Amino acid sequence: MDLNAPTDAAATVTSLTAGIDHAALEQDGPKAFGDRMGTPAADEKVLWKGRPAVGLLARTAFHAHTLGLYMAALALIGLVAGNTTAAMVAAVMGVALVGLLYLLAWLSARSTLYILTDARMIMRIGMAIETRINLPLKQVTAAHFRPRGADHGDIAFELSGERLLTTLLLWPHVRPWHYAMPQPMLRSIPDAANVAEMVAAARGQYGAIERNLTNINDAGPANVQHGLQPATTAGRLVPVRHRGEHGLEGAPA
């Protein structure tokens, strides 16, 4: 994926130029009520806001289709074995399970708001206990993008500095299989490629970042990453890592 290519990036250009009205953030999804970790400062430009797509979140984070197919297989086995009662029970339980998982995905998406500013990524998340996560862009050392269908995708962030985040706190907004050093992840977001470009452009003010824009390997940590430059940067730059910086925050609201 060439970030310098003249793709349909009209939304990106508009967002980077005009920004989003701060007041609109309190009318969309979970509110922060002025809390500094969940509310952009007056001098911050809001570049983008979004939330997960319910159906895609149900399939990828809650594995609704996989578990539904498993229950369907049990029902089929029951029919083949001549045990219609077991088959009916498996079918009913499968429908109920898939419905429950879609309900959880809907609740998760409804209680989520991702906000990208020119200084940080804000994550307002939490179905039971609302949590506000503050990810300073200067601490983003790598961003990983995985396309999901038409124009949706996931974007995971590697971070430097002090880490106060845990997988339990972030789930399902976290990259799978990275428990020792959790990577916050924007899940199942629309227009994901343009959002990745916006992240690269905003992070470019602190230097280039290392990125893999082709795949997120859910089977485990990747050993190799491909360095790419932000769209606004010319030439090859070495990824900048600020090991001694602090400011990464995450706490229940």
Going residue by residue through the chain (253 aa), what tens digit of pLDDT does each one get? 333 333 333 333 333 445 677 767 766 677 766 677 778 888 889 999 999 999 999 999 999 999 999 999 999 999 999 999 999 999 999 999 999 999 999 999 999 999 999 999 999 998 888 888 889 998 898 888 898 878 899 999 988 866 667 888 889 999 988 888 888 999 999 999 899 888 988 888 887 776 664 444 444 444 433 333 333 333 222 233 333 333 444 444 3
Rounded to whole angstroms, the Cα distance separating 183 from 205 reads: 22
Query: Residues with Cβ < 8 Å from 150, sequence gap 6 or more?
Result: none
Tokens of 247: 């400011």
In this predicted structure, what is the pLDDT of residue 166?
A: 85
Q: Amino acid letter at 106?
A: W
Rounded to whole angstroms, the Cα distance separating 101 from 55 reads: 10
Rounded to whole angstroms, the Cα distance separating 249 from 42 reads: 19
Rg from Cα positions in the chain? 20
In this predicted structure, what is the pLDDT of residue 2?
A: 33
Instruction: Return the SS3 of 106.
Output: helix
**pTM reported for the whole predicted model:** 0.74
DSSP state of 158: E
In this predicted structure, what is the pLDDT of residue 56?
A: 93
In this predicted structure, what is the pLDDT of residue 123?
A: 92
In this predicted structure, what is the pLDDT of residue 162?
A: 65
How many C-beta atoms lie closer than 10 Å to residue 181's C-beta? 12
